Amino acid sequence: VRDLCERAVEAALASGASYADARVVTRRSQHVLTKNGRVEVVNDVESEGIGVRVLAGNAWGFACDRRLEPAGAEGAAGRAVEFARAAAGSHHRDLASIEPAEGTYRTPCERHPFDVSLEDKIGLCLAAEEAMRRPEIKVTQASVRALQERKTLVSSEGTAVVHELVECGGGIDAIAVSDATFQIRSYPSAHGGISRQSGWEYLDELGLVTEAPRVAEEAAALLQADVCPSGTTDVVIGAEQMALQVHESVGHPTELDRVYGTEASYAGTSFLKPRDLGSLAYGSSHMNILSDATTPGGLGTFAFDDEGVPARREHVVREGVLSGFLTSRETAARIGAGAGGSMRADGWSRMPLVRMTNLHLEPGEGSLEELLAGVREGVYLDTNRSWSIDDKRLNFQFGTQLAREIRNGELGRLLRDATYTGITPVFWASLDGVAGPEEWRLYGVTNCGKGQPGQSAHVSHGAAPARFRSVQVGVQT
Amino acid sequence: VSAAALDIADAVLRHTAGDEAEAIVLTEHSGLARFAGSEVHQPTLIDNATVTVRVVRGTRVSVALTNRIDDEGLRDVARRASESADSAPEDPTFPGLPDREPLPDVAGYDEETAELAAADQARLAEAAIAGAGSTLAYGYFTSARTELAVASSRGVAASQAMTDVTTLVLGAGEDLSGYAERTAWRVRDVDPEAVGREAAEKASRTHGALELASGVYRAVLERYAVADLLEYFAYDSLGALGLLEGRSYFTGRIGQAVFDPKITLADDSLDERGLPKAFDFEGQPKQRVPLVEEGVARGVVWDRQAAAQANDAQPSTGSAVPPHVRGFFGPIPLALSLAGGEADSLDELAQVVDDGIHVTRLHYLSVVDPREGVITGMTRDGTFRIRGGKVAEPLVNLRFTLSVPDLLADVPALTREVRLVNSSSYYDERYPYGVLAPALATARFTVTGVGSRPGI
C-alpha cells in the first residue's frame, strides 16, 4: 500500500505538482439495527480506494480511484493535477512547515468488534429492546455499530504514516406515543447512541440491557408530563447535551477554515475573526475548552492528522478567552499561529478538511447535586432532541428529550418538549459552574457534516453538567 | 449506456448462494469544483461503484456492500451477505423480493452533461464566479453521470443512467450575502453566470441589515425555503414508517383537510422538470404519488416492507430507499413536487403579503416536534422586510420555530413557475434528487429570534 501511495505522489510531482499527498483507506463497518423486535438493518459494508491531493501552481486538486493498483493511483494523481491546473488560482498558498513523520498508530483494543459474532450483536439489540417493552411504548429500537479503518498517508515531504483504527458503539431508544404527543428517550445518547475508539469491551460497559427498563419508563412518564414552561430562567444542562452544545457553539466556530469563509456556501462561517485570538471573551472564567487528539477512546484520536501533523492537545478557550483555532497547515500559515493538526478526511474519496478531533469542556468541581443546589428556581435539561444554530454559530436553539423542574436546589416534576435558546458568547458568559471530574463523560458522534461533497466526521466530546444563569427556555413569539 | 451497472449486478448475483438475492449497483463519475473567495479551492473528482447485495434465506435477510467490483470482490461481498443472512433471525413480516414489473420510460440522461470533464467543470465554476462580478463568490459547480441498476434472482433487471448538474453561488462580503442555485439533468438548462449574477444582485441589497421583533408575520418564501421546509416535514410525516409509528402529522388525518386548498403536493419521480427516475431501490416502478390534493391529506409513500407491516392495506408506491439506509425513516419521498399557483412573480407575492418579510433560503433546520410538524431553523442570505407590497430593507438572519401545517394552512398565493431545487449534499454515494417548488406567500411565518448578520 505504501508503494502505491508513493507511486501516486511521484506521478503527481512528475505532472507538475509542487506538493502531493496520497491516502489509501480501507474501511469495513457493520451496523445492526433492530426495531420492534425485528431486524431492520444488518449491514456489512466495505470500501477502499486512494485519494490524491496536489498543489499545482496556486491551486489544490483532488481526485480518487477505487482501484488499489498502479493504474488507479497514477490515474488519480494525473486527474488531480489536471483539475488543479484547470482551476488555477491567484492566491499564494503557504503550508506551515512540519517535520516529515513516520509511524503507526493502532487503537488499543481488548476484543476486536469483528470477532464478536453477528448473532451476538443482533442478540444484544433484541434483548435491549425486549427490556424496553411496556404498553405505552409504541416503538423500541436498538443499534450497535463497529468499524475498522486502515489508512496509509504518504506525502511528497517524506511523511509516511499508518493508522489502524477500531470503533464501536451503540444505543437504544424508546418511543412513547399518545393521541396528544410523541416522546422519545434514548441511552446512552440520542441519535444512535455513542461510539468510541475501542474494542467490544465498550459495549459491555454501556449496559444497554440493564439501562433499557429505565429508558422505557422515562419515555412513558413523559406522556403524562407537563409541557416545559417558557421564560428566562436558570438552567443546569446535563453532560450529554453539553457535549452537543460544545460541538455546535465552540467546535465549529473555532474551525479556522470557517473563519476564513471557505465553508460559507454550506455549513457556514463563524462569528470569530482571526484578530480575536487571545482577546475575545468567549465566556465566563469557568469555560475551558480543550482540543485533544490524544484522548483515550476518542473518535478523533490519532497519532497524525491527514496532513501528517502530530496529534495536538491545546486549549481553544482558556478561562473564557479564545486561545486557539482548529487549523490546517494552510490556515495555520495564513494566521501565523499553530501548525495545523485538525485536517481529517472522510474515507478515501474526499479531501481533508479542518475538523474537530476531540473537543472537551474541562470539568470544574463538585457534583451535579451541588450545581443544582445553587438554583432556587430553574430547569434541568438533558439528552438532545433537536438542534439548530445559525451560519455564524451565534443564535442556537436546542430541544431536549427530558427536562425537570428545579426548585430550591432540588429536582422536581418531569417536563416535556423543552427547548432553550441563546446567543453563543452571551450564553457562555452566563456559565457559572461546571461539575467536577467525577461527573465528566466522554461522548462520541459519527455524523458531523461538513464540506461539498459532504463528509461525515467522527468526533468526541467530554463534558460534565454545567449551570447557566438567565437562559431563554421555550420559544418566545 | 446502462449496461455496465447491470452487468455488475448480474455478476454478483452469480456468486450468491442464498435462496433469493438482489443486487443494487450505483456508479458515480463526478466532478465538483468548489470555490470560496472567488477561487476554486476544493476541486474533487470521484469515480466509484458501490455494490449492495441483499441475500434472503427463507425470511432471514442480510445486506453487504462493497466497492470492489472485480470477481474476487463480488464473490466476497456475496459471501459476507450470505453468512450474515444465516446469522439473522427469521422475519415473518419480510414480504420477499419483488417480481419484475414493467417500468416507465423517463428522461433524466443527457450525453453532453455526461461527458463534462474536469476542465469543463472548472470552466463552468469560473463562469459562476465571473457572474458574481466584484462580489466574492462561494459555492460550487458540479456535474455527474450516475447509473443505478437493480437485479434479482426473481427476474428484476432494471437500469438507468442519470445525469445531474448544480451551480450554487453565495455572493458575499463583510456584511452582505445573497444566494442562488440551479439544478437540472441537462447542463444547457443551467447558466452558471446567471446564477452568480443573481446571487450577487441579491447580496447587494443585504447591506445594513436590521433586526426584527419576534412574532407571526406574513411572508414570501422563495422556492429554496419552500423546498427545505417540505423536505424536513416529509422525513417524519410523508413516509409510511412515520405513519405506522405515530410520528407523522398525517397520523389519523388521511382524508382530512390539512392545508390551504391551494396546496397540492405529490412525490413525482416521473416529472421531466425534476430529476426523473424509472424505479426505486427494489426495482419497482416509480409513479406519481398524491400526498395532498387541494389541501386534503391523501397519503404517504410506501415500500414493500412497510406495506407488509400494514398488512398489505397499501401497495408499494415505488419508494424504497437503499436497504442499508432504510433504518429510522423508512421510505421517504425523494421527488417532492408542489404545484404552482397563479402568481406571475415574486413581486406579485410581495404585493399579496403587503406587510411582512421575504425569505430567500433557510439554514440548519431541525424537527422540534414531528407529530405536529414543528421545525426550527434560521433564515439566511437574503431576508428582507416587505412594506407596502414591496421588498424593503434587509433583515438580519431570523430564527423561526413554526408548524409546517400551520404555515401551509393559509397560503394566499403561489407562483405559477415551479423550479427544481437540489436536495443532495453529496454525502456517501451520489444519487441526484430534488424538490420541484414554487415560491409562495403565507399568512403565518413564526419568527422567534434574531441571529447573525448577513455576510462572511
Q: For residue A85, give how far its alpha carbon lies from the nearest alpha carbon of chain B (Å).
A: 9
Check residue A344 and give its pLDDT: 98
Reported confidence tier of residue B3, pLDDT bands at 50, 70, 90: very low
DSSP state of A247: I
User: H helices within A227-342, ranges in order?
Assistant: 239-246, 256-259, 329-335
Check residue A145 and give its pLDDT: 97
Which residues 189-218 on chain B approach chain A with CB closer than 8 angstroms? Answer: 214-216
The partner residue sitting opposite A391, judged by closest CB among B44, B397, B448, is: B397
Reported confidence tier of residue B2, pLDDT bands at 50, 70, 90: very low
Check residue B329 and give its pLDDT: 84
Q: For residue B342, give how far its alpha carbon lies from the nearest alpha carbon of chain A (Å).
A: 31
Gap between the Cα atoms of B108 and B1, Å rounded: 13
The pTM of the full predicted model, rounded to 2 decimals, is 0.97
B255: exposed, middle or buried (C-beta count within 10 Å: 0-12, 13-18, 19+)?
A: exposed
- Is the pLDDT reported for residue B227 higher than 70? yes
User: Which residues in chain A come in under a pLDDT of 50?
Assistant: none
B255 close to A (CB below 8 A): no
CA nearest to A27 within chain B:
B66
SS3 content of chain B, % helix, strand, coil (to 5): 25, 40, 35
Which residues 156-175 on chain B approach chain A with CB closer than 8 angstroms? Answer: 168-170, 172
SS3 content of chain A, % helix, strand, coil (to 5): 25, 40, 35
Q: What are the chain A neighbours of B168 within 8 Å (beta carbons)? A: 265
Question: Which residue, among A390, A424, A450, would best test binding to B if mutated, counting the most B CBs under 10 Å from its CB?
Answer: A390
Check residue A93 and give its pLDDT: 86
Query: Cβ neighbours of residue A249 under 8 Å, at least 6 residues apart?
Result: A389, A393, A396, A424, A427, A428
The partner residue sitting opposite A388, judged by closest CB among B41, B119, B366, is: B366
pLDDT digits (tens, 9 = 90+) for A134-171: 999 999 999 999 999 999 999 999 999 999 999 999 99
Q: Which cell is A105 given?
A: 498508530
Check residue A88 and give its pLDDT: 82
Check residue B19 and give its pLDDT: 75
> What is A87-124 written as a DSSP string?
T--SS----------EEEEE---SS-GGGS-HHHHHHH
Q: Is residue A71 within 8 Å of residue A53, measured between CB atoms?
A: no
Check residue A476 and give its pLDDT: 64
Gap between the Cα atoms of A256 and A304, Å rounded: 19
Check A475 against B49: CB less than 8 A apart.
no
For cell 397519503, the residue is: B299
The partner residue sitting opposite A261, judged by closest CB among B138, B368, B371, is: B138
Chain Cα centroid distance, residue B368: 20
Q: For residue A40, give how far its alpha carbon lies from the nearest alpha carbon of chain B (Å).
A: 6
- Is the pLDDT reported for residue B311 higher than 90? no
ipTM of the complex: 0.95
Query: Cβ neighbours of residue B205 under 8 Å, at least 6 residues apart?
Result: B178, B382, B384, B391, B394
Q: Which cell is B53 given?
A: 447485495
Give, for A10, the enclosing helix (H) or strand (E). Answer: helix A2-14
DSSP state of B264: -
Reported confidence tier of residue B1, pLDDT bands at 50, 70, 90: very low
Check residue A326 and give its pLDDT: 98
A16 close to B (CB below 8 A): no
CB pairs under 8 A between A and B: 277
State the Cα torsion A280-A283-A286-A287 to the nearest 10°.
-80
The partner residue sitting opposite A392, judged by closest CB among B68, B87, B452, is: B452
Gap between the Cα atoms of A93 and A58, Å rounded: 6
pLDDT digits (tens, 9 = 90+) for B75-125: 999 999 999 998 899 998 899 999 999 999 999 999 999 999 999 999 999
Give, for A235, the enclosing helix (H) or strand (E). Answer: strand A231-237
pLDDT digits (tens, 9 = 90+) for B170-218: 999 999 999 999 999 999 999 999 999 999 999 999 999 999 999 999 9
Nearest to B242 by CA among B257, B232, B255, B256: B232
Gap between the Cα atoms of A160 and A153, Å rounded: 6
B55 close to A (CB below 8 A): no
> What is A349-403 written as a DSSP string?
SS--EE---BEEE---SS-HHHHHHT-SEEEEEEEEEEEEE-TTS-EEEEEEEEE
For CA atoms A305, A311, A312, A316, give the dihedral sign: positive
Is the bond into A453 cis (omega within 30 degrees of 0)? yes
Question: Which residue, among B12, B16, B39, would best test binding to A if mutated, counting the most A CBs under 10 Å from its CB?
Answer: B39
The pair phi, psi for residue A222, each rounded to 5°, is -60, -25
